[in-house]
């Protein structure tokens, strides 16, 4: 069973679809191997996966972050964090972490915080000659 799972997952990922579709192919392969293939099960699981209140909340918070960016709240939070920890050696990554903590206290949505802070901090980090992959990784984390 594990061999079928891994082979179908690796094979589907090798073709290049998104991971969600590769997992669907993996589930279909397991259902065929076990002899319990039923299209209704597949359809029900797809609908259950999309019918999630948390997904609606994340998009709502991201929509609420846009006026915060336009009003300058993200820049003010970054300026406050810079005044707290920006003077230390390697201060810009510390500013990113401090700003993320402050914004997390306000919105309680990690995806919205990432969207709000990335638009401000990534250009600052690029200007300070930080590598882009490390900067994006820090903001994403």
Phi-psi region of 16 (alpha: psi -120 to 50; beta: other; left: phi over 0): left
Task: Give the pLDDT band (50/70/90) at residue 21.
Answer: confident
Residue among 83, 79, 90, 94 at smallest CA distance from 128: 90
Domain ranges within the chain, ordered by starting residue:
2-51, 54-140
- In the numeric block, which tokens belong to residue 20? 């969600």
The residues near 128 (Cβ < 8 Å, ≥ 6 apart) are: 92
pTM of the model: 0.54
Residue 25 vs residues 12, 38, 134: alpha-carbon distances, Å: 7, 14, 33
pLDDT in tens, 99-138: 888 888 877 777 777 877 888 888 888 888 888 888 888 8
The predicted-structure confidence for 40-74, as pLDDT tens digits, reads as follows 888 888 888 777 777 776 677 667 777 777 777 77
CA distance to 128, 135, 140, per residue, from 121 (Å): 10, 8, 11
């Amino acid at each position: 069973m594990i061999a079928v799972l891994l082979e179908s997952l690796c094979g589907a990922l090798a073709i290049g679809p998104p991971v969600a579709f590769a997992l669907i192919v993996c589930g279909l392969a397991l259902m065929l191997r076990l002899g319990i293939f039923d299209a209704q099960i597949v359809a029900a699981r797809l609908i259950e996966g999309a019918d999630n209140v948390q997904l609606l909340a994340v998009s709502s918070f991201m929509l609420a972050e846009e006026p915060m960016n336009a009003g300058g709240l993200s820049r003010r939070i970054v300026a406050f964090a810079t005044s707290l920890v920006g003077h230390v050696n390697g201060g810009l990554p510390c500013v990113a972490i401090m700003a993320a903590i402050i914004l997390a206290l306000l919105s309680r949505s990690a995806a919205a915080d990432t969207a709000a802070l990335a638009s401000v901090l990534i250009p600052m980090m690029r200007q300070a000659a930080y590598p882009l992959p490390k900067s994006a990784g820090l903001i994403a984390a």
